[in-house]
Amino acid sequence: MIAALASGALVGLSLGLIGGGGSVLAVPLLVYVVGVPAPHIAIGTSALAVAVNAAAGLAGHARAGTVKWPCALVFAASGLVGAAAGSTLGKAIDGDRLLALFGVIMIVVGIAMLRRPEGRDDANVHLDSASARRLLPRLLITGFGVGLLSGFFGIGGGFLIVPGLIAATAMPMLNAVGSSLVAVTTFGLTTASNYALSGLVDWVLAAEFIAGGIAGGILGTWAAGRMGNGRTGAGKRALTRVFSAVVICVGLYVVARGAAAFV
């Protein structure tokens, strides 16, 4: 229980702080720290816990006014379809192999975050009748693609949603973090429901994980507001670099542990 609470707090902190990293951290933590023996149960349980923790973080960001609701809702609706299809495919693949593939994705995303260009933010971007022709196709296509990957790997998808929203709309990082939690919640609940129907959710463990995550999420949301509203870009980039390093290191560990499944 202590391991589940501490792991949940770390995941909640990540979600509130950068809008992602929930299941990137949750699945390995559940398997290798908490000790969940079956990868598919870890995936289903983490999807539920991450969705609830993301909803708690979203409430904090909404109060702070960092959520661009029209963009976030379109992205989430498109991703919902992809998440449903992806989670169905994911259940059909061997759990150990799924974890190994998950680790590869973590490494790729960590490197991509480090290489993200700066200085292209549009703080005033919003989806309306005037901008729909330009923004709507980008949001729909990117949302579906991210949702598909989210469901396939059993992840909330925030580490893909944040760069996806930025790529589609050029919104600032802080707005992408807040807006991403709409889709993280939606994708996570979709994936968790699919896994729950197959009996692949540990409800007691999920409750413990959620309790720790809510506490971590409060701290993470507060820190995101402090850093995102900073006057210099150095503080904003520091978190991205640290998180990217963590994601890459954990990805390498997961790949190493799951490589035997391909032998």
Residue-level pLDDT at 121: 74
Which residues fall within 8 angstroms of residue 67, CB to CB, at 6 or more apart? 58, 61, 175, 178, 179, 181, 182
Q: What are phi and psi of 119, to 5 degrees?
A: 80, 15
Distance separating alpha carbons of residues 211 and 127, to the nearest angstrom: 35
Would you state the pLDDT for residue 163?
78
pLDDT mean across residues, the chain: 83
3-class state of residue 232 by DSSP: coil
| Residues of the chain predicted below pLDDT 50 | 231
Number of structural domains found in the chain: 1
The pLDDT of residue 234: 60
- Does an H or E element contain 93, and which? none
Q: Positive or negative CA dihedral for 126, 110, 190, 33? A: negative
User: Residue 124 corresponds to which tokens in the numbers above?
Assistant: 């005033």
Check residue 117 and give its pLDDT. 66
* Distance, CA of 225 to CA of 57 (rounded, Å): 12
Judge contact between 97 and 238, C-beta under 8 A. Answer: no
Residue 261 is encoded by which pair of tokens? Answer: 């499944």
User: pLDDT tens-digit profile of 221-232?
Assistant: 888 777 756 545
Query: What's the confidence (pLDDT) of residue 245?
Result: 80
| pLDDT tens digits, one per residue of 13-33 | 878 777 766 777 888 889 889
What local confidence, expressed as pLDDT, does residue 231 receive? 47
User: 148 lies in which domain range?
Assistant: 2-262
